[in-house]
Amino acid sequence: MARLVTERLLLRPFGRADASEFARLAGDWAVASMTSDIPHPLSEMQARAWLRPGRGEVRFAMELRGQLIGGTGFYRRHSGAAEVGFWLGRPWWGRGYATEATSAAMSYGVRSLRIPGYTSSHFVDNPASGNVLRKLGFEPVGRGKIISTARGHDVEAVTYWLDAKRALERLPGVHAYLAADTPRWRAWLGRIAGRAV
């Protein structure tokens, strides 16, 4: 999987070594209760299982100066559209990191994986997430109930949509794609072309 560099962050794949920090940061009630699929409490064993990407999942760890601070990514549905999700450890809220990282991940998805569009949702009691989605260019398209694993019941949520064309207009975000697992010339070509490799 690609590694992406943004203005302030490195986005990289999660590894086994992230499990305990992921459990500590994402297992926080303030984080887990706003997601559909992060349990609370979150044990290290559950964290290890959660971090293994399933089929169609593209998940990036957000790293700030070597510290894991959150995660962002998407799940590719059979239809081709992808469902976006993100979370950030509480000490780093309110500094634009979620928007910066998710913008880069989505830009990578459109440019490199040809994702035709994105969907996302947030619980109605989570306005910060709605702000992130709108800053990314998403528009609200409906409402419905979504399960919150941490809360143990369905919660009213707003659903959003962003098509690839608008995403390309809206999402700069990535200064360089580091193709660590691909030949160096591709990384070099990507850098001089200023786009994904």
**Among residues 66 and 94, whose Cβ is nearest to ligand COA?**
94
**Among residues 99 and 108, whose Cβ is nearest to ligand COA?**
99
At a CB cut-off of 8 Å and minimum separation 6, what does 25 contact? 31, 68, 69, 70, 89, 90
- Scanning 27-93, the segments in alpha helix (DSSP H) are 29-32, 44-51
Nearest to 72 by CA among 53, 92, 98: 98
The C-alpha angle with vertex 39 and arms to 24 and 84, in degrees rounded to 5, equals: 95
C-beta of 97: minimal distance to ligand COA in Å? 4
- Cis upstream peptide for 41 (omega within 30°): yes
C-beta of 158: minimal distance to ligand COA in Å? 10
Give the interface size with ligand COA as a residue count (CB under 6 A).
Answer: 20
Residue 66-105 contact track with ligand COA, rule CB under 6 A, x = bound: --------------------xxx----xxxxxxx------
Structure tokens at 77: 């549905």
- Scanning the chain, the segments in alpha helix (DSSP H) are 19-26, 29-32, 44-51, 97-113, 127-135, 164-170, 184-193
Residue 26-65 contact track with ligand COA, rule CB under 6 A, x = bound: -----x--xx------------------------------
The span of 8-16, 120-128, 147-155, 162-170 binding ligand COA (CB under 6 A) equals: 120-128
What region does 188 belong to: left with phi over 0, alpha with psi -120 to 50, or beta?
alpha
The span of 10-18, 110-118, 129-137, 173-181 binding ligand COA (CB under 6 A) equals: 129-137
**Among residues 35 and 107, whose Cβ is nearest to ligand COA?**
35
Task: Enumerate binding residues for ligand COA (CB under 6 A).
Answer: 31, 34-35, 86-88, 93-99, 122, 126-129, 131-132
